[in-house]
Chain A
Amino acid sequence: MVDRQAERLIRSLTSIFLDRELAADAAQDAFVQLYKHWDEVTKRGEPTAWLFRVAVNRCKDYRRAITRTSRLVQRLIGAHPRSEASDDWTPKADFLSILAGLPARQRIAAALYYEADFSVAEIARVMGISEGAVNSHLHRARAALRDILEAS
């Protein structure tokens, strides 16, 4: 399971939350929980969707706290959050910019669809929303990402 899912889980989470450390942490958390509850989860028949849902929720909770922290740092000392680009990861600036500008749900839907190759039905289960809503989020995300393609 780790071999099959870890890489795409981390990459998807990074595309969603634009923070690789956060993504790796949340992915580890999710795998730990999956390990603990394997019997229960597999009984329900969708460990992958469950894994992604737990990881996404975990990231959201981290992010909620970190957002407040970052805001406070800026208020106190004018510091800015660290950049995500690094020596071994140099994503296109406009790609990150577009992703950062998408509402969270569009980012999640797009990452699961394009990065993790989930079907719309699977995304709906991960996000806990209807397939129609997933399609709506994907449609808008696709339109935004198309701008990058057309610009290039």
Chain B
Amino acid sequence: MDPTQTDERIRLLYRENAVPVDIRAFKEGLAERLPARSGSRSQRVMRTVSWAILGLGMAAALGFGVYTAVDSLGGDQPTLVIGDDIMTGAPGGPGAPAGPGATAGPGATADPGAIEADSVPDPPFSLSSDMARELGEALLREIPDLGFEVIRAWGVVTQYDPPSPAWITLGPEEPVQAFIDIYIHTHPAYATAGGADFPYHALPAGDSADISVPGATAARSVVSPAGDYYQVVALTPEDMTIIAISRVTLTEHSSTPRPTPPIELQRLAGLVAFAIERLAALSATGGGETAATAQAEDGHPADDGHHVDAVSVLVDAPPADIHSIDFRGLWATLAEAAGVESTGATLERFEVFYRPSGDIFHLRLQVLTADRYLLSCSYMEGAQTVHLYGSRCPENEPLPYSSWSTPLQPVFAAIDTLKIGTFESQLEVTNDVAQLVLCTVLRDANGTAVIHAPQPASYWENSAFLPLGPEDSRRTAGSTDVVLGMGLGRHAHDGGADLSIKFDDLSYFIIPAESATSANGS
């Protein structure tokens, strides 16, 4: 069966099995909702289900977990509060906020992460506002079978932090979806694998599982014309602290052809150079129709006329070649081929995940050049593909949050010091996964110190920017000292491709700048 024939038969298969749709009823329901939105049917259903679940939880009274989903904060508010990338202070982990009322730490500055440079922080949509606090508690009280008293009996207090000045508004673009879910788990963390539940640490080796983390978490999502935003907050028995704010999507992406058959690694730099060159040309033209023309000249007719401001390149390569990639060599080659200035480049992100065998199954290296090009190289085990990404930060927009003060050279020197100059691991690990994250201590104008490190007890994100508490010794590290964070944990996926890792053990090392400089030979 040739591919075209297969596609036609699969289309027929879909048609034969299509769900009948009552368009008239759908439109009637839609018409009812258009004038005034008072919460979706799903949300009401979910709340009802949640109440039922919570009731069962009460009836069971056996210390099982309790879950509830609560309704929307409303989608009509004119502002959207977001931050750039991940900002985290996970409860109990290094850098966790000192206690109730602690702020999100890394967000305590106005510039990084801002999308609209002239935007003014505005809290009406923020969980941090007094209004949100009232609303949050009111929502929890709405749950009749649980009751706020029960929550209080558990020691959970819905305390929202004051808004961070770093939170910014999205300008004229309104969020189009906004809602908050709160999950409360009182049972110990468990993992479900093969239809059975296991204590977290007893998960069969090599198995994958859904993982539930202890404590309570809450998440808020916003979908807007400018992108999707996902905010995670956490309830701990002591307080409620914002632990993560993530920006998921901000730019349109365009891909270059995926080369086949696999090519030599030496050509990677050339491909990225091509991508960035095209990117620069498109940026210079201002996008629109000109961008479409430029794409057409490259053999890729634009069908939407969108301005292209980022380019992805996927390159196939044998795993052995990928494993032998040299960090510093790759960076130098990329910079040279792309014609960017390597001096003054800063580290945006560096992560490596190892297996006990020493194999790398995921890595990510992102560098921001002084002339505002973001170069990224990532690899996922088994894909036999290196993903290279180039984007250009517009002149009038602030640099990514993580690039304030992380010089690149000490990081590379630290890599040399640790003898992990290539992707092949020299580390001994004792658990399923080890993650390394390198960065220098970041500081904002207010002196808040942050490091990029593995995140404990995380379901959604593996690493994040952790604020350092006032007693944290890492605060005293020099601006060019490199902090190596290392986490050991287990890896699971959520029934699909989603990667979830919980790090049980976290440690860190401070590599003095002198050592790094010495190792660098400079």
Contact = CB atoms under 8 A, between A and B. Distances in A.
Partners in one complex: yes
Interface of A: 2-3, 6-7, 10-11, 14-15, 20-29, 31-33, 35-37, 40-41, 44-46, 50, 53-54, 57-58, 61-62, 64-69, 71-73, 75-77, 88-89, 91-92, 95-96, 103-105, 110-111, 114-115, 119, 121, 124-125, 128-133, 135, 142, 145-146, 148-150
A32 B30 contact: yes
A41 B225 CA distance: 6
Contacts of A89: 19-20
A148 B13 contact: yes
Interface string B7-36: 101110110111111010011011001100
A115 B14 contact: yes
Contact of A130 (B174, B255, B304): B255
B476 to A, nearest CB: 40
B20 A22 contact: no
A130 B17 contact: no
B176 interface: yes
Nearest to B3: A142
Contacts of B27: 2, 6
A32 B34 contact: yes
6 contacts: A10-B21, A33-B223, A61-B221, A75-B65, A77-B56, A104-B498
B37 interface: yes
B197 interface: yes
A147 to B, nearest CB: 11
B306 A45 contact: yes
B416 interface: no
B183 interface: yes
Contacts of A26: 42
Which 3 A-B pairs have CB atoms at the shortest separation, nearest pair first? A130-B255, A25-B42, A132-B258
Given A41-B225, A142-B6, A149-B9, A132 B181 contact: no
B40 A28 contact: yes
Interface string B50-61: 100100110010
Contacts of B10: 110, 114, 142, 145-146, 149
A60 B389 CA distance: 26
A57 B30 contact: no
Contact of A65 (B41, B65, B181, B212): B181
Interface residues on B, range: 35 or more
Given A50-B225, A66-B46, A69-B53, A145 B177 contact: no
B241 to A, nearest CB: 21
Given A25-B40, A115-B18, A37 B49 contact: no
Interface of B: 1, 3, 6-7, 9-11, 13-14, 16-21, 23, 26-27, 29-30, 33-34, 37, 40-42, 45-46, 49-50, 53, 56-57, 60, 64-67, 69, 75-76, 173-174, 176-177, 179, 181, 183, 192, 197, 210, 212, 221, 223, 225, 228, 249, 252-253, 255, 257-258, 303-306, 312, 314, 495-498
A28 B13 contact: no
A32 B33 contact: yes
A73 to B, nearest CB: 6
Q: Which of A76, A77, A119, A150 has the most CB atoms of chain B within a 10 A radius of its CB?
A: A76
A14 B176 CA distance: 22
Contacts of B304: 45-46, 121, 125
B75 A33 contact: yes
B13 A95 contact: yes
A146 B1 contact: yes
A113 to B, nearest CB: 8
B75 to A, nearest CB: 7
Given A28-B33, A36-B76, 11 more contacts: A6-B27, A29-B42, A35-B34, A69-B49, A72-B66, A76-B64, A77-B56, A89-B20, A114-B13, A124-B255, A130-B253
Contacts of A65: 46, 69, 181, 183
Given A57-B221, A115-B18, A75 B303 contact: no
B484 to A, nearest CB: 32
A103 B496 contact: yes
Nearest to B493: A103
Nearest to A26: B42
A57 B17 contact: no
Given A33-B75, A88-B20, A24 B26 contact: yes
Contacts of A45: 304-306
Nearest to B253: A130
Residue among B19, B76, B212, B312 with max Cβ neighbours from chain A (10 Å): B19
A2 B263 CA distance: 46
A104 B495 CA distance: 8
B42 A7 contact: no
Given A11-B18, A29-B40, A37 B60 contact: no
A76 B60 contact: yes
A110 B45 CA distance: 28
A145 B20 contact: no
B13 A61 contact: no
Nearest to A131: B255
A29 B33 CA distance: 9
A3 to B, nearest CB: 8
Contacts of A33: 75, 176-177, 223
Contacts of A22: 42
A7 B27 CA distance: 11
Contacts of B225: 37, 40-41, 44, 50
Contacts of A76: 53, 56-57, 60, 64
B14 A72 contact: no
